[in-house]
Chains A and B, each alone.
Chain A
Amino acid sequence: MNIMSLTAVELGKRIKAGEITVVEAVKAAIDAIEKKEEKINSFVTVDREAALEQAKKVQKLIDDGQLSGPLAGVPVAIKDNMCTEGLLTTCSSKILGNYNPTYTATAVENLQRAGAIIIGKTNMDEFAMGSTTETSAYGVTRNPWDIGHVPGGSSGGSAAAVAAEECIYALGSDTGGSIRQPSSFCGVVGMKPTYGTVSRYGLIAYGSSLDQIGPIAKDVTDCATILETIASYDKKDSTSMKREVYDFTSALKNDVAGMKIGIPKDYFGDGLDEEVKKNVLDVAKVLEKKGAIVEEFTLSLVEYAIPAYYIIASAEASSNLARFDGVKYGYRTEEYRGLHNMYKKSRSEGFGAEVKRRIMLGSFVLSSGYYDAYYLKALRTKALIKAEFDKAFKKYDIILGPVAPTTAPKIGDSLADPIQMYLGDIYTVSVNLAGLPAISLPCGTDKNGLPIGVQMIGDCFEERKIIQAAYTYEQTRDYARCEIAKEGDE
């Protein structure tokens, strides 16, 4: 049996039953990483010794009956933009190449408390800016389904590591689709919770008003279980919300009878790949057969989501990334003359091209004389987009559509045309602008054998509805493993 082929919940059960030890699970993950990293490059840092050390401690706590949660002893990979005390946290940037945080992010702490074993930090687009994981300063991550293709991004390392079975599950972060799109490209399940559900404390900010941490795993059950563990009201994050219910697993029901599903016509127009379109609409048919009421509707303002998103996210990023200046931590240029020269050189050498592009864009839209025309207008657009969704959720329980217009592009194709790359975020960014929860799950492959994902969007705080619909659909098909994943099988 291949330990790495198990879901988190399955592995957790077997560890608790004493069939697999925590050390065995961690060793399996490390072996897989050693075997596959050359091809995939989904990790920036792998912490072998600490993971094994931690495995022994957690095993003892499980044996003593002090840890009994579903994730106790299960190895996890963390996206490299979440602070982990004493463990390198680079955001896949040269500027944080030597940064060892002095504290751990709340979401990661919640996992550790539940007995999760951190095996390493996953590669990403630099500072989460990108849709392909090609902007990483530590090399591109390759799609385990076809290593000539990108895994998506920005949480490409996390999605690829789960798909390649280098870890059991992973945490990602989603600012404009960064969990859902790589999950879709890699054929795994990823979920972006309602804004404010998972604490952002310790998540190195890209677009603060849009960033949310969420799970990437093999199935919906894992996602619900992980979300239940990482979600918490955190006093250290003022935008964190005290929710009435933190129970997501009881929504894992194979039943959509009477559920109203809206299909936004505007998500199926020009630019959407025919194969993607067909597979996504087939999901709606499956759910309809299982008793859901499926209806097409018009979701306005779709074309404004991309400009609004890139203005808001870049504006916040230009300010959030100002602290990386070579003064306190991170990269400082070798030679400089005076303070301003040090700032300029450290930042010019420390940041990659995409990050610089967004810092410049963000600084521009916030500068005096342009603030009203761009930033303020984008905020108004954001409010209008939210209102459009509010209107839709008066009629529908969930909204169903594609995650991305195409399957994973070839490595090297996207960065040549950034505008085209930005447009690829069209189905994911409005969810962040409106603060909604959404899940991405596999619904087939294209003619080249690359995975296609379907997205289910819920109203704020209605994760349970999308979990239920996704789970119901998932029951109708088998989880598809890529060839690289099977390399660990005996």
Chain B
Amino acid sequence: MSRQEIMQDARLQKRGMSKMSREYETVIGLEVHVELATKTKIFCGCSTAFGGAPNTHTCPVCTGMPGSLPVLNKQVVEYALAVGLATNCSINQYCKFDRKNYFYPDNPQNYQISQLYLPICHDGYVEIEVGGVKKNIGIHEIHMEEDAGKLIHDPWDDCSLVDFNRSGVPLIEIVSEPDMRSAEEVIAYLDKLRLIIQYLGASDCKLQEGSMRADVNLSVREVGAKEFGTRTEMKNLNSFKAIARAIEAERDRQIDLIEDGKKVIQETRRWDDAKEYSYAMRSKEDAQDYRYFPEPDLVPIVIGDEWIQKMKDIQPELRTEKQQRYKEEYGLPEYDIDIITASKHMADIFEQTIAICGNPKEVSNWLMGETMKLLKEQEMDADQISFSPANLASMIGLINKGELNRSVAKDVFKEIFIHDIDPVSYIEEHGLKNVSDEGAIKATIEEIVAKNPQSVADYKAGKKKAMGFLVGQTMRATKGKADPAMVNKILRELLEA
């Protein structure tokens, strides 16, 4: 596509729905790739850990050396099964891998081992809720496959290099039915999948880091039409926001084309979130023929009833079960429960903290209040919380023992949140421990009373508010470390003496 055409395309996208004369319905289906949390790759023993020097987590298998052969990692099958069962799928008890053939340097064998003919799971659904309305979104299939390596352009030598550390990292692809009708439904569906998969421990599902990736298939049709319109596939969507923006833009672009009497072309488009605009990557005509055929190096996977039963038996507590338990066991309000369980990571922190210090309501308050506030300030999401539950528990212990003031505790918690400090040594080192030495507090108060004769007089004249001012002065002088109950008691004694 020429630059001129791209600009025209962009203008078309911006015009939005201005000319719309008919009513349209958007039809959306998703292809979601999820990187599984296995320690080793899908077809070899190499580590899946992030951050290794290029080509250090590799072997003959994942670099496509001649003569090497794949051996399936059983854990991949178990994670795929777990996700399939949790999304109400039927299981193909005899499933196979197939080869998808295409040439690209990030793919060392020039074929990807995937599943086409007999994917492990099919015909499931998840329930979503948008604006109080519940709806089932169908899952067409879930299949297992391997990830590709990464191309790194070297600007100095003007060449591209390949890092095969990601090559062979296990993925599942969850293909939905075209059941979604709005960006809100798409986000709700993705959030539901994310939570289910996180709760299963099958993946951390981080969109930004690419451990969860979604391609959007979208078409529009007039309301009431029976046939689907021509669809496009949108790629490169790295956040929920990008997905929502891309859906809106693509919907408008397609409606504009139809309103102009033009045809939507079946093609793959790439979303540029910075420019809020997409461009065509390839049309159906130049779509590749992947020449799929059964992978002869792997034997079929036979999944017996016992294996399925075992996976059901060991299924971890999912969100709805957890919500129910929090209500019954801890008596937390539903609002709190919803927020805490909206992230498996947050729920884990909650449970690990109360395992140490008990006090679920107090722990919940710290998570609901200060934690959420700090997450917002730092523009983080709950999955990125990195403090240790032990430090939060220890801080709550200090408050309960009266060694730490609630107001000071907020500052201490911020340190825990950011630097994961140990609150006991921190308050010691920074002199933040409550002063409960009655003599010292009394001396400070006496000084303040002497400095503020007017307030003393006001108090004695019956203006009880003056007491508050003097308490405040005392707290400021002690940097908040004085035990407020003790300050009140001593001050009252002095004023009424």
Q: Please give the distance in Å from B12's CB to the nearest CB on chain A.
A: 31
Q: Which residues of A contact B99 (CB under 8 A)?
A: 319
Interface size class of B (residues with CB under 8 A): 20 to 34
Contact check, A205 vs B103: say whether CB atoms are below 8 A apart. Answer: no
Is B291's CB under 8 angstroms from A105's CB? no
- Cβ proximity bits B210-233 to A, threshold 8 Å, 1 near / 0 not: 000000000000000000000000
The interface residues of chain A lying within 8 Å CB-to-CB of B289 are: 367-368
- B51, chain A: closest CB distance, angstroms: 23
Contact across chains for A325 and B103 when beta carbons are under 8 A apart: yes
Q: Does B101 contact A (CB under 8 A)?
A: yes
A208 at interface, CB cutoff 8 A: yes
A404 CB → nearest B CB, Å: 26
CB atoms of A236 and B66 under 8 A apart:
no
Q: Does A310 contact B (CB under 8 A)?
A: no
Contact between A328 and B64 (Cβ–Cβ < 8 Å)? yes
Binds B, one of A95-103, A118-126, A149-157, A405-413: A95-103
Q: Taking A101-B65, A322-B101, A322-B110 as contacts, is the C-beta distance between A239 and B299 under 8 angstroms?
A: yes
Q: How far is the CA of A203 from the CA of B60 in the complex (A)?
A: 13
Please tell me which one of the listed residues A203, A238, A325 contacts residue B299 in the complex, with CB atoms under 8 A apart: A238
**Is A322 a contact of B69 with CB atoms below 8 Å?**
no
Chain B contacts of A375 at CB under 8 A? Answer: 293
Chain B residue numbers with a CB within 8 Å of A205 are 66-67, 297
B2 to chain A, nearest CB (A): 20
Contact residue among B64, B105, B298 (Cβ-Cβ distance under 8 Å from A238): B298
Do most interface residues of chain B lie in helix, strand or loop, or is the interface mixed?
Answer: loop
Give Cα A367 to B298, complex, Å. 21
Q: Of B66, B70, B111, which contacts A83 at CB under 8 A?
A: B66
- B72 close to A203 (CB less than 8 A): no
B54-71, CB < 8 A from A: 60, 63-71
- Total contacting residues, chain A, CB less than 8 A: 44
Determine the distance from Cα of A201 to Cα of B297 in the docked complex, in whole angstroms. Answer: 10
By a CB distance below 8 angstroms, the chain B residues around A99 are 66
Interface secondary structure of A, over-half rule: loop
Please, how many angstroms separate the alpha-carbon atoms of A81 and B67 in the complex?
Answer: 8
Question: In the complex, which of the residues B72, B111, B292 contacts A322, with contact meaning CB atoms closer than 8 Å?
Answer: B111
* Contact assessment for A323 and B110 in the assembled complex, using a CB-CB cutoff below 8 Å: yes
Chain A residues with CB under 8 Å of B162's CB are 327-328
B155 at the interface (CB under 8 A from A): no
Min CB gap B289→A, angstroms: 5
Is the pair A325, B110 in contact by a Cβ cutoff of 8 Å? Answer: yes
Chain A 194-208, CB-CB to B under 8 Å as 1, else 0, gives 000000111111011
Q: Is the CB of B297 within 8 A of A366?
A: no
Q: In the complex, how many angstroms separate the beta carbon of A187 from the nearest chain B beta carbon? A: 30
| Residues of A with C-beta under 8 A to B291 | 318-319, 363, 366-368, 371
Known pairs A238-B298, A368-B289, A371-B293; A204 contacts B69 (CB<8 A): no
Tell me the smallest distance from the CB of A102 to a CB of chain B, in Å.
Answer: 6
**Nearest-Cβ distance from residue B188 to partner chain A, whole angstroms:** 35
List of A residues within 8 angstroms of B299 by Cβ: 238-239
* Complex-state Cα separation, A235 to B69, whole angstroms: 10
Q: Would you call B439 an interface residue if the criterion is a C-beta within 8 Å of the partner chain's C-beta atoms? A: no
Interface flag for B108 (CB, 8 Å):
yes
Assembled-state Cα–Cα distance A395/B292 (Å) = 39
Contact between chains at A202 and B296 (CB < 8 Å): no
Q: Is A316 interfacial (CB-CB < 8 Å)?
A: yes
Chain A's nearest CB lies how many Å from the CB of B41? 14
Q: Which of A105, A239, A315, A318 contacts B67 (CB 8 A)?
A: A105
Q: How far is the CA of A89 from the CA of B67 in the complex (A)?
A: 11
Q: Which residues from A are CB-within-8-Å of B101?
A: 318-319, 322, 366
Determine the distance from Cα of A334 to Cα of B68 in the docked complex, in whole angstroms.
Answer: 28
Residue of B nearest to A201 (CB): B69
* Pairwise interchain contact B64-A323, C-beta atoms closer than 8 A: yes
Give 8 closest A-B pairs by Cβ, nearest first: A322-B110, A366-B291, A208-B296, A209-B296, A202-B67, A204-B66, A83-B67, A204-B67
Q: Using a CB–CB distance below 8 Å, which chain A residues touch chain B?
A: 81-83, 89, 91, 96, 99, 101-103, 105, 200-205, 207-209, 235-239, 315-316, 318-319, 322-325, 327-329, 339, 343, 363, 366-368, 371, 375
Question: B residues bordering A, Cβ < 8 Å?
Answer: 60, 63-72, 99, 101, 103, 105, 108-111, 162, 289, 291-293, 296-299
18 residue pairs of the A-B complex, CB under 8 angstroms, read A82-B67, A83-B65, A99-B66, A102-B60, A103-B65, A103-B68, A204-B66, A204-B67, A208-B297, A239-B296, A319-B99, A319-B101, A323-B108, A327-B162, A339-B105, A366-B291, A368-B291, A371-B293
